[in-house]
Amino acid sequence: MSTTSHLLDDIRNVNLSYLLLVQRLLNEDRTSAMFRLKISEQMADTLVSLPISQLAKLANSNQLLCHFSLTDATQLASLTSDQREDDLKRTHAAILLAGGSFEHEEETVGGEQQYGR
């Protein structure tokens, strides 16, 4: 099996794991999950309603369905530096990621996602 084939299998596995986690988060605490995942109520409704067969079909993609929330290398560096205590790191991460949700909301106009970043 080639390296590319292994990578595609890994991407598909990550996608399915991510989608199952998304459903679990939404089922356990919808409001918190929507905030953490930076998704709308309509998207949450859609994701929760998908049966496992549809999740598997959706996961069977060569593109990652999840994305990295930190958009700036300095954010990542500040969270990974040894200078902060662990509790402070978690608080800082929450603040940085919460700020990303506001950026996401600003990109949405009239219920339609704007892709020109």
pTM above 0.75, yes or no: no
What CATH number is given for 1-66 in this structure?
A: 1.10.4000.10
Q: Which of 32-41, 66-75, 79-88, 96-105 has the highest mean pLDDT?
A: 32-41
Q: How far apart are CA 117 and CA 115, in angstroms?
A: 6
Q: How far is CA 69 from CA 47, 78, 83, 94, in A?
A: 19, 14, 22, 11
DSSP string across 3-22: HHHHHHHHHHHHHHHHHHHH
pLDDT (tens digit per residue) in 36-50:
999 999 999 999 999
Domain regions of the chain by residue span = 1-66, 68-117
